[in-house]
Structure 1
Amino acid sequence: MPDITYPETRRDPIVEDHFGEQIADPYRWLEADVRTAPEVADWVARENAVTEDYLAGLPQRAHFAGRVRAFMEYERFGLPVKAGPNYFYTRNSGLQNQSQLFVRKGLSGEPRLLIDPNGWALDGATALDAWEPSEKGRHLLYSVQDGGSDWRILRVLDVKTGVPMADEIRWAKFTRLAWVGEEGFLYSRFPAPDQGAAFQSLNYNQAVYFHRLGTPQDQDELVYATPDHPDYGHAAEVTQDGRLAIITSHVGTDARYEVHVVDLAKRKRDGWKAWPLVTGFADDWKLVEGAGRRLWFVTNKDAPRYRLVSIDLDAAVPEWNEVVAQREDILERAGIVGDQLVLNYMRDAASHAEIIGLDGSPGRTLTLSGIGTASGFRGRPGDPETFYAFTSFNCPSAIYRMNIATGASEPFAQPSLCYDPEAYLVEQRFYTSKDGTRVPMFIVRSRAVAKAGKPVPTLLYGYGGFDVALTPGFSATRMAWLEAGGAFALANLRGGGEYGREWHDAGRRANKQNVFDDFIAAGEFLIGQGIAKKDGLAIQGGSNGGLLVGAVVNQRPDLFAAAVAQVGVMDMLRFDRFTAGRYWVDDYGYPDREADFRVLRAYSPYHNIRDGVAYPAILVTTADTDDRVVPGHSFKYAAALQAADLGGKPHIIRIETRAGHGSGKPTDKVIEEGADILSFIAQWTALTVPKDENGRSEK
């Protein structure tokens, strides 16, 4: 490949004192919003020109673009939701930029198209996000996401006619959709931001409102707010029988909540009076369901791996009763369907499910098809059925309908594939981290590669933060990598939620280095076990995982041949100054507190680039509408990489337009990004792809 000439990037003489240390920040000007700052927009255009020229010249790119497209071209369905006589579900015929929403009357009814987002924008970047039918299925509330932003517009559809209603809600973000009968709904929103500040300003003063159908937004009723605590966030749910509204409040990203209850049956007398059920922001509380004035929750109070509890609000002295005690496995969620409880457990980052009585009496285990992830199990008391999805690394999501009385499952929608899933081997292994901790890892290869027993180019993925568990799931991009002869590994690092509260605590704040040590040990394990080539290991991560990639590249640049850091948090001294960044102090700590600063300074990717040391090839990716992790993080990091002497490998940045942190991305953009990433890491891990009769990479 030809040498790269990076665009010239201005350096400003900004130096600040942080607890006695003088820290330079020459690229702070790149924090400005690309949509309103011409000099940043010019820099983005020049960087993209260099990157696009480089990626277009990669010999493997055409092959991977074709194969990612082929692996995405299958009919896929979302989980059905039943409301009244209607079943609602999403469907994508294969390569549609956005999935459509259908309704059918009864399971055997004729599907009817309700919403087609593909006509909302010429570039396909306006997406149908969340949606929720009203109790009787007469109305559909849905949220619209434009250009990948976290902001949502809420709208309502008349299901019978398919005609949109006039109702429209603006400035909703991080909201649930909760119907109150057929008269209206609860939602969460922030005050309208100042002009030009929507994509960068900090988010404060979230509140819950009630919108009555047929009225303008400025007449919405304030349901719950905490003006004395503008940093609190709030979300509302309504029990399936419509009796109670549950308002869950949070401070940061930690699963530590307060819970308030509104008795909707007494609303005419008491208004939106909310009384406290759980106070103190100490534990996680996940509403399972309510029947009358009895509630069920999954909680980690006195149970770091979670248990199921219930409370009768009509009791003389309401008390929490344990329904299912803590077990070795993590209780992820639960649901009430018919007259039984469906419990969704996680063991070593893989799913299994169990059906028991409402009183906790033993039931039966739901058999799943190997190592994978089960989700769904939504329903309500009295329902005869529930739906769930099952997916793994080698198979896309299939939807099943389960008879709740017998436990028998039957396919509702199964994908027709262009490959044989059995040709790919999914394994789980355990390795030892630096401090002796045992860490799980999934390894996926074709059976032919595994049988050959030779090391191959390997892509290692990780996250390790915010109590998020990485579980098996399908990716067309990964399948194209596996088909070409590469291996894929996913490491379940500390900081995630794979083993409950203790696993999370072991990888955050002062313990964050454990996450990096776990990831580095995963790479060494793959090479040591003869799975990855010594000079053929690539790493990838997004968001908190982008931070992970940036940190470990600084710490062990010799270990990796290539690195892909996507929408990463790269400046750990200023992350809390933009949009939702203030929430992340739960995992990262406070940059303005000295003890936390010392930890953050030690691993911040932007501040620890090692000039004069050979680095792997690095592809940084971000998007202009990312208002979760603002693109300035990646802009500054890429500029610092390009200014340093890091050897001859490329250090480039790919900046998507009309895209955000990831959700809502149209299929065309997913294919293009996948092809760029795979061809980049293939180039630097020496993965060869099939050739046509003229010796060119196949398209």
Structure 2
Amino acid sequence: MIARLALATALAFASSPALAQETDAEDPYIWLEEIQGERALEQVREWNADTEAVLTATPEYPVARAWAKQILDDDRQIAMPDAIQGDMVTNLWRDADNPRGLWRIASLDSYMAGAPEWRTLIDVDQLGRDEGESWVWHGANCLAPDYERCLISLSPGGTDADVVREFDVTTGTFVEGGFTLPEAKSNVAWFDEDTLFVGTDEGEGSLTDSGYPRLVKLWERGTDFTSARQIAEGEQTDVSISGFSVLDGDTRWRFIRRGPSFWTANYSLVRDNGSAVPLPLPEDAEFEAVLDGHVIAKLNSPLTTRNRQAEAGWLVAWPLQDVLDGKPAEPFVVFSPSETQAVEEVATSENTLWVKVLDDVSGKLIEVRPGYPGWFNRDMDLPDNSTIQIANTTGTGDTVFVTIESMLTPPTLWAVPGDGAAKRIASVPAQFDASRFTVEQRFATSKDGTRVPYYLARPKGVEGPLPTLIHAYGGFRAAQTPKYLTAEPYRSGPLSLFWLESGNAYVLANIRGGGEYGPRWHEDALREKRQNSFDDFHAVADDLVAQRLATPGKIAASGRSNGGVLVGAVANQRPDLYGAIISGSPLIDMRRYNKLLAGASWMAEYGNPDVPEDWAFMREWSPYQNMQPDPDYPAVFYYLSTLDDRVHPGHARKAAAKLEAFGQPFYYREAIEGGHSVGADREEDAKRAAMLLAFLNREIGDEAE
């Protein structure tokens, strides 16, 4: 696999009609799409074994694996407030003894004092042993305001599909005869204490083309699900439809969300009897929160409001009672970011809207409160040049929990009240000597003149070019912000730290397609504009070379999921620039992606390959169709999971088969469990981090040929 075949063989393959692969019949590797097919799995086992034989034999592998496991299992991690439930807080705790986690609860007072007194509710590892299942925790939805009953989602092996069970927090047991749903990609939420919103797989006609629920039903306690009353349905071509509720003070507001595409939604307000009235939100607006009787949404296109013209990226509110009463619900602006800012997160406490913005990618927290004649806001006094993330908020009182970190500063959890000083709750101790490194934000100029930010981390005092790892995403409005180097974005443990400790450079690139500068940053890489994100990535790499910080051929491109499209495209377009590619859970074959698992849900992002006009521009950059035999093509490491039911494992499998036919080097690691997140536990994450380090050293390290 890793050795090259004769170039003549590769060139013969390149001249065959199969290279074009404009139809399924022309794809010689389509058999690898049979996820559990024995022939396909035998090929996977062979590739896995070949990769492990090479990379686990390197001297750095056992050291890196042990170090990664130690970092990932460190019990000095922050016990994050996964949910604030009245005067209690819940947390899922994972460590060496509990790799799948302990779901536990403590009083909010003890948590705020920094000495939480935890009571275990569910031991996920023990539950799996007792039931003979490989359970992976996927969350709890507890009914406010009492929070005594919860809907627990458990995934067999880490897939997106869950089993849902009702749990009683007061007794610490699953409810006998309570609400239970079998394994499926279900949409489930509380309507009231005895009724659920449910959308699930009921057989033919119940799912959309994307594989998500097409129907919303109300299921009453004590009845068979077959008697559940349907209250809404979507189209077969929709992405999904779901019901949910939000508690605003003492009022429970209920909604239905129908998603015609990934980037559009129609919302309705649901009355107590299950009937619904449409909300006046624009179809491309993002539902963010409910506060003070208003629904708050982020705009993605301009809107005329009663107090001023609102632009894309602004937050706007509509009065819900007017909607119920059949009156015109006039929207008004509640927050407008500056030109360099983008709203990234929104959360509510009892009386406050908390808005986290990015300002040239640096985090800021803003408090927004209802008032007359307009809502007012103020910036909270928190460290500059940091990554800030909202962890949770209190339902009573106005406190928000946030984490603050940077590449060189470990995360600290703060409780930030609406009035008074912020309080430090917990912090991760330093896990490396940060004084040995420098981090700076730089800007590259893309092909069309766009200014593209990126973060560069290097050993302090080193001059000249270094082997460099560049990670990016570039899609789905997902901004990439700098995190502490032991918790970077590969789902692979502390790879970036290991790479820096080896004397190399690490870059996080904020290319278009993400949300770093609001809707415009995303829209500039949609569909026919996708090449902009690839050009941005090339621009960052070229800027590093021009500044004598990196060398062509000694640069690795890393991307995961949507990032698989990115790194596959840049490898095809600039094999002169990149010496290695890390491609995790990747999308690669854009000719067939909409026919594989959840792929149809992303056509608003990429285009529909079955429409000739769309395929015309997608064909220009689709990684699979543009792969060519080239002796200078960068070595690729594919990592993924057999049980990924979001991005089909066939993408990586077929790309690996193509490279093998070309005689080009590649490495392959397909974990059996883990779903789209790949690793079902930290042991797998540690192995992957160590193998990826060995791969980078072998292909672009200073010792590489």
The TM-score bracket by the shorter chain reads 0.7 to 0.9
Query: Which residue pairs with 1:680 in the alignment?
Result: 695
Q: Evaluate the alpha carbon distance shift between residue 534 and residue 54 of structure 1 in structure 2; reply closer, same or farther with a 3 A threshold.
A: same
Q: Evaluate the alpha carbon distance shift between residue 63 and residue 527 of structure 1 in structure 2; reply closer, same or farther with a 3 A threshold.
A: farther
Quick check: 587-596 or 162-171, which moved more? 162-171
Query: Which residue pairs with 2:308 in the alignment?
Result: none
* Structure 1 residue 687 displacement after superposition: 5.0
Query: Which residue pairs with 1:399 in the alignment?
Result: 413
Q: Evaluate the alpha carbon distance shift between residue 637 and residue 377 of structure 1 in structure 2; reply closer, same or farther with a 3 A threshold.
A: closer
Quick check: 549-558 or 93-102, which moved more? 93-102
Q: Evaluate the alpha carbon distance shift between residue 373 and residue 208 of structure 1 in structure 2; reply closer, same or farther with a 3 A threshold.
A: farther
Query: Which residue pairs with 1:236 in the alignment?
Result: 243
Q: Does 1:128 align with 2:137?
A: yes
CA distance in 1, matches of 2:479, 2:370: 27
Letter in 1 for 2:246: T
Query: Equivalent residues in 2 for 1:517-532 (5 A)?
Result: 517-532=535-550
Quick check: 317-326 or 568-577, which moved more? 317-326
Query: Equivalent residues in 2 for 1:490-501 (5 A)?
Result: 490-501=508-519
Percent identity reads: 27
CA distance in 1, matches of 2:679, 2:285: 28
CA distance in 2, matches of 1:598, 1:376: 41
The question of whether the paired residues in 2 share the 8 Å contact of 1:16 and 1:22 is answered with no
Q: Note the alpha carbon deviations across 1:576-599, whole angstroms, 9 max, x for none.
A: 102210111112111122221122
* Structure 1 residue 218 displacement after superposition: 3.8
Q: Note the alpha carbon deviations across 1:318-371, whole angstroms, 9 max, x for none.
A: 211222235321122333323332221112223211113213544432233343
CA distance in 1, matches of 2:91, 2:392: 13
Q: Evaluate the alpha carbon distance shift between residue 193 and residue 660 of structure 1 in structure 2; reply closer, same or farther with a 3 A threshold.
A: farther
Q: Note the alpha carbon deviations across 1:34-80, whole angstroms, 9 max, x for none.
A: x2x22112222222222221222223212221222233232232224
SS at the partner of 1:29? helix
Letter in 2 for 1:309: A
Q: How many residues align?
A: 662
Q: Which residue among 151, 155, 165 is the counterpart of 2:165?
A: 155
Q: Does 1:307 align with 2:307?
A: no
Q: Note the alpha carbon deviations across 1:159-178, whole angstroms, 9 max, x for none.
A: 11111124321354274x64
* Structure 1 residue 416 displacement after superposition: 2.8
Q: Which residue among 85, 101, 104 is the counterpart of 2:103?
A: 101
The question of whether the paired residues in 2 share the 8 Å contact of 1:305 and 1:327 is answered with no
Q: Which residue among 257, 275, 284 is the counterpart of 1:248?
A: 257
Gaps of 5+ in 1: 690-699
Query: Which residue pairs with 1:146 in the alignment?
Result: 156
SS at the partner of 1:581? helix
Query: Which residue pairs with 2:364 in the alignment?
Result: 352
Query: Which residue pairs with 1:71 in the alignment?
Result: 71
CA distance in 2, matches of 1:107, 1:162: 21
CA distance in 2, matches of 1:452, 1:95: 40
Q: Evaluate the alpha carbon distance shift between residue 479 and residue 150 of structure 1 in structure 2; reply closer, same or farther with a 3 A threshold.
A: same
The question of whether the paired residues in 2 share the 8 Å contact of 1:259 and 1:279 is answered with yes
Q: Evaluate the alpha carbon distance shift between residue 192 and residue 395 of structure 1 in structure 2; reply closer, same or farther with a 3 A threshold.
A: farther
Q: Which residue among 268, 285, 288 is the counterpart of 1:260?
A: 268
Query: Which residue pairs with 1:419 in the alignment?
Result: 432
Query: Equivalent residues in 2 for 1:326-345 (5 A)?
Result: 326-328=337-339, 329-345=341-357
Quick check: 320-329 or 93-102, which moved more? 93-102
* Structure 1 residue 216 displacement after superposition: 4.7
Q: Evaluate the alpha carbon distance shift between residue 424 and residue 129 of structure 1 in structure 2; reply closer, same or farther with a 3 A threshold.
A: farther
Query: Which residue pairs with 1:694 in the alignment?
Result: none
Query: Equivalent residues in 2 for 1:170-569 (5 A)?
Result: 170-173=182-185, 175=187, 178-192=189-203, 202-203=210-211, 205-213=213-221, 215-226=223-234, 228-240=235-247, 241-254=250-263, 256-263=264-271, 267=272, 271-278=273-280, 281=283, 283-291=284-292, 293-302=293-302, 303-314=311-322, 316-328=327-339, 329-359=341-371, 360-376=374-390, 378-379=392-393, 382-406=396-420, 408-421=421-434, 423-445=436-458, 449-474=459-484, 475=487, 476-569=494-587
Query: Which residue pairs with 2:305 in the alignment?
Result: none
SS at the partner of 2:478? coil
* Structure 1 residue 535 displacement after superposition: 3.9
CA distance in 1, matches of 2:657, 2:695: 19
The question of whether the paired residues in 1 share the 8 Å contact of 2:350 and 2:395 is answered with yes
SS at the partner of 1:532? coil
Q: Evaluate the alpha carbon distance shift between residue 603 and residue 301 of structure 1 in structure 2; reply closer, same or farther with a 3 A threshold.
A: closer
Q: Evaluate the alpha carbon distance shift between residue 501 and residue 396 of structure 1 in structure 2; reply closer, same or farther with a 3 A threshold.
A: same
The question of whether the paired residues in 1 share the 8 Å contact of 2:568 and 2:623 is answered with yes
CA distance in 1, matches of 2:553, 2:422: 46
The question of whether the paired residues in 2 share the 8 Å contact of 1:344 and 1:351 is answered with yes
Letter in 2 for 1:89: N
Query: Which residue pairs with 1:695 in the alignment?
Result: none
Q: TM-score, normalised by structure 1?
A: 0.87
Q: Which residue among 585, 591, 616 is the counterpart of 2:609?
A: 591
Q: Evaluate the alpha carbon distance shift between residue 204 and residue 86 of structure 1 in structure 2; reply closer, same or farther with a 3 A threshold.
A: closer
SS at the partner of 2:677? coil
* Structure 1 residue 452 displacement after superposition: 2.2
* Structure 1 residue 381 displacement after superposition: 6.2
* Structure 1 residue 224 displacement after superposition: 2.5
Q: Does 1:657 align with 2:672?
A: yes
SS at the partner of 1:375? strand
Quick check: 486-495 or 467-476, which moved more? 467-476
Q: Evaluate the alpha carbon distance shift between residue 219 and residue 529 of structure 1 in structure 2; reply closer, same or farther with a 3 A threshold.
A: farther
SS at the partner of 1:390? strand
* Structure 1 residue 675 displacement after superposition: 1.0
Letter in 1 for 2:680: K
Query: Which residue pairs with 2:58 in the alignment?
Result: 58
Gaps of 5+ in 2: 111-115, 303-310, 488-493
* Structure 1 residue 540 displacement after superposition: 0.9
CA distance in 2, matches of 1:468, 1:43: 34
The question of whether the paired residues in 2 share the 8 Å contact of 1:58 and 1:680 is answered with no
Letter in 2 for 1:443: L
* Structure 1 residue 670 displacement after superposition: 0.7
Query: Equivalent residues in 2 for 1:108-123 (5 A)?
Result: 108=110, 110-121=117-128
The question of whether the paired residues in 2 share the 8 Å contact of 1:296 and 1:311 is answered with no
Q: Note the alpha carbon deviations across 1:172-194, whole angstroms, 9 max, x for none.
A: 4274x643343344344343479
Letter in 2 for 1:660: G
CA distance in 2, matches of 1:484, 1:193: 54
Query: Which residue pairs with 2:27 in the alignment?
Result: 25
Query: Which residue pairs with 1:697 in the alignment?
Result: none
CA distance in 1, matches of 2:87, 2:497: 39
The question of whether the paired residues in 2 share the 8 Å contact of 1:171 and 1:192 is answered with no
